Amino acid sequence: MKKIILSAAFLYAFFGKAQNKSANEFKYLEYDIQKIQSLYKSNKTSVKEVVEAYLKRINEVDKNGVQLNSIITINPDALKIADSLDHLKAKLKDKPLFGIPVLLKDNIDTHDKMPNTAGSLALKNSFPLQDSYLAKKLREAGAVIIGKTNLSEWANFRGKKSTSGWSGLGGLTKNPYILDRNTCGSSAGSGAAISANLGIIAIGTETNGSIVCPSSLNGVVGLKPTVGLISRKGIIPISSTQDTAGPMARTVKDIAISLGTMVGEDKNDIKTVGSTHFLHKDYTQFLTLNGLKGKRFGYVKSITNGASKKVDQLFLQTLQVLKDHGAILVEIENELLSDDVHESSFKLMVDEYKDGLNDYFASLGPNAAIKNIDELIAFNKNSKEELQYFGQEFLELSAKSKGTKDENYVKAVKTAQEGSQEKGIDLAMKKYNLDAIIAPTTTEAWKTDLKNGDHYTFGSADAAAIAGYPSITLPMGYIDELPVGISFFAEKWQEGKLITMAYTFEQMNPQRKVPQFLSGK
């Protein structure tokens, strides 16, 4: 009998596609906010039917089937909430997020039957005493919060050699494009879930790259707003200087619609005080097609430092696309940030982490399972599951610090902010007369390695993250079936301008592909 030899490429393609046909048989595949709401307005479906369909898809794709593992908790009252919206449809139908299934990263407080865990077994049964300001705003806009997404535990600031997308409580989130690839952190579950059509929008949080990186690796759009645009009250913190929440979606339009529902001054978050003059209740006004022609985009030629020739090549191709649509490209001579800025950013994060966590634990009341950072460290030491892959060096470093009372804390904040703002982004924007700075967001997804941690080579999130300035990423193209994003960032409060640029790029050069859940084996 003749021996038949099948190539690895053939097996990869055949078995990958064979298992995925049913995974993408979904009534609302790639639907956006507008398309879902048009069904409501024409009475072709109900909120309850839509929410039920998404919950069924989560069960079939996330919990079973390919087992994406992007969602930690399902809201047990989701159908009840949906049914109540159907009964109030006449009064609420014009709400911007009416009947939209929304997923929250599991470090955002909700006062309901869902705990808020940061992915930690220590907070498995931790139920906040009130909604976060953000959750409250989303509910007021008509959203149905259907669940909480998995994340890199403690927003990826627990210990060295961590694996993005893994948490002690939630396990490992898989990349929906190729399942053995990483999702990046820390909003890993939010990125993977939205890419896999498990919700319409998700909320992530970022201190440095945790919205834009998972958006890039999972082929979706992610906006990291200016720090102070969205309240952080009720969100488990790392850094009061750099933390922000932000929307993740499959289209720029959905980013614009959802962003307007989240913004606002909150007296309990001092960073938001005074933001009213700079925010917009409706960011859809920026969905125009004049975001490329005549615009000056600066880029650092050595952005990847040779870390990825394939990313370099894709970015050069994208620069030509921008040029073909009338953009003016300007090469920036030097890196935007100095080593001192990076070091100071890490210093302030360590100091603010201690105070922020202790304040958050106090907000949980006298019956909180964990009451301070020292108790958290002790819990982890006594848990086989928590420390099975990597340690908690960052927690321990923070616990030993004096917090924001450290004598070098104020200096660290000043160095980080001046170096990233006046001497960083602001300086480059003024010197080169730029409308925005662009860069590849990061590389394509690497193979997940629980033993050795992330194989992360470069990213462009640092400048905007440390400065507290806005950035937006969206698909730029694909490398070996894996998405790679392009980031646009600019000065403080310039979300509208960035939305226009991203929307124009998206419409002129659409790159979003539905993931096929390839095995990668």
Longest dimension (CA), the chain: 79
Nearest to 440 by CA among 474, 408, 412: 474
CA-CA distance, 454 to 367, in Å (whole number)? 36
Q: Which one is catalytic: 48, 70, 95, 105?
A: 105
DSSP string, 426-463: HHHHHHTT-SEEEEE-B-SPPBP-TTT------BS-HH
CA-CA distance, 301 to 127, in Å (whole number)? 48
Q: Is position 186 annotated as part of the catalytic site?
A: yes
Work out whether the CA dihedral 274, 104, 243, 476 comes out positive or negative.
negative
CA-CA distance, 442 to 480, in Å (whole number)? 15
Q: Which one is catalytic: 186, 190, 216, 239?
A: 186
Q: Is position 363 annotated as part of the catalytic site?
A: no
- Sheet holding 244-249: strands in order across? 71-74, 144-149, 101-105, 201-206, 244-249, 221-224, 471-479, 482-489, 436-440, 296-300, 328-332
Q: Which one is catalytic: 152, 190, 210, 345?
A: 210
Pairing label, strands 101-105, 71-74: unpaired
CA-CA distance, 512 to 509, in Å (whole number)? 10
| Tokens matching residue 437 | 């700075």
Distances (CA, A) of 93 to 38, 42, 205, 281, 514: 10, 11, 28, 17, 29
On the CB side of 372, CA atoms within 13 Å amount to 6
**What is the residue type of 262?**
M
Q: Is position 105 annotated as part of the catalytic site?
A: yes
Catalytic residue ranges: 105, 186, 210
